[in-house]
Amino acid sequence: MAEENTPADAEQTLPAAGEAAADGAPPRVLNQDEIDLLLGFDAKEEVDKTSGIFAILDKALSGYEKMPMLEVVFDRLVRMTAASLRTFTGDTAEVNLISISSLRFEDYLNSIPLPALLVVFRAVEWENFGILTIDSSQIYSTVDVLLGGRRSARPVRIEGRPYTTIEQDIVKRMAEILLADLSTAFDPISPVTFQFERLETTPRFATITRPNNPALLVRLRVDMEDRGGGIEFLFPHTTLEPIRELLLQMFMGEKFGQDMTWEKHFTKEVRQTEVELEVVMDEKEISLGDVMQFKVGNTLLLDRAPDDEVMIKCGGVTITTGKAGKMGENIAVSINEPIRQKVREQL
């Protein structure tokens, strides 16, 4: 009788993962532990989003770290916003930059608590949009300050209550001030005008790009003595694409791959370089056989009169025209027109 294989014996005969069996069977399928290790999951511990598939997916969201000028822009924004809010509210206001991070647009919309007021603004020169979000604490604090409310602890957020018309008008005025400061902050990099587009109370109605597209999120914290809240600016990466090269600068005014001293020296030397000019009276096509029969004393007939224009060439390129003549004992050419613009661009 043939002996039956036990389950333990069967496992020992299985090929390793990715290796085909000797009889042509398909490769062994990964078990659950191997899949969890590949994806970065661990049933006993919390999910590690810095390894496995999460590290691969989030790699594309680290683009803001390659744009050093963004921190310079938002640092200017913090200083200007603090002064503007003090003027707007008449109260002491301190603004701090909390974080600059990248995330997917859909993730940001899902993270907004309700009720919410989202300001959709337009970058006119860049022909794209962004979102400004002012949280409930900041809205209620601003309303209290402007309408003479008492100074107390942070106002309690009323769950589920929609914002009134007065609160929406105050948010609109505050958003216009913040957008004006943001336009000024970007001026040293690239002049841009941020315009108030609309006010939305439902996040899904504030969709300005595809859900999976990456976006840049800037979080600010506003403190007005014992009250305040948060302000967030969201820029889809497509919005910042027109000035991406400028944001890649390490410092203001940097020019990649250029050395002004070397450029000036190179320009000076080029202007002093001697070039050979050719004056062509006429061009005529003849066969190679006729050329081979040339003899001393032969005459070539040209379809040119003494007063006709001649072509002046440099390196085989016609740069201008003139008329041939004589000055003293030398043959001279009088230039009729300046060097052609197309030739200047090529040179």
Q: What are the pLDDT tens digits along the chain (347 aa)?
A: 444 444 444 444 445 544 544 555 566 777 777 777 666 665 555 555 555 565 555 555 554 546 778 888 888 999 999 999 888 888 888 888 888 888 888 888 888 887 788 999 999 988 899 999 988 888 888 888 888 766 655 545 555 678 888 888 999 999 999 999 999 999 888 889 999 999 988 888 888 888 888 888 999 998 887 778 889 999 998 888 888 888 877 665 545 455 677 788 888 888 888 888 888 877 778 888 888 888 888 887 777 777 788 888 887 888 888 888 888 888 888 888 787 665 555 55
Residues 127 and 242 in one domain: yes
Residues 182 and 273 in one domain: no
130 lies in some domain: yes
Q: Using alpha carbons, select from 154, 193, 168, 166 the residue that is nearest to residue 115.
A: 168
pLDDT of residue 142: 85
257 lies in some domain: no
Residues 79 and 217 in one domain: yes
Q: How far is CA 231 from CA 72, 174, 222, in A?
A: 18, 11, 7
Residues 225 and 277 in one domain: no
Distance CA 19, CA 28 (A): 7
Residues 346 and 333 in one domain: yes
* 3-state secondary structure (DSSP) of residue 108: helix
Enter the tokens of residue 75: 């640092």
Look up tokens 């991070």; give the residue: 101
Residue 246's Cβ-count burial label (10 Å; 0-12, 13-18, 19+) is: middle
Look up tokens 């230039």; give the residue: 335
What is the value of pTM for the model shown?
0.57
338 lies in some domain: yes
Report how many domains make up the chain: 3
* 3-state secondary structure (DSSP) of residue 100: strand
Query: Do the Cβ atoms of 119 and 133 come closer than 8 Å?
Result: yes
Q: CA 171: distance to chain centroid?
A: 29
Residues 34 and 68 in one domain: no
Distance CA 229, CA 148 (A): 18
Residues 274 and 225 in one domain: no
Q: Which domain holds residue 323?
A: 269-282+307-347
pLDDT of residue 51: 56
E strand or H helix that includes residue 199: strand 194-200
DSSP class of residue 241 equals G
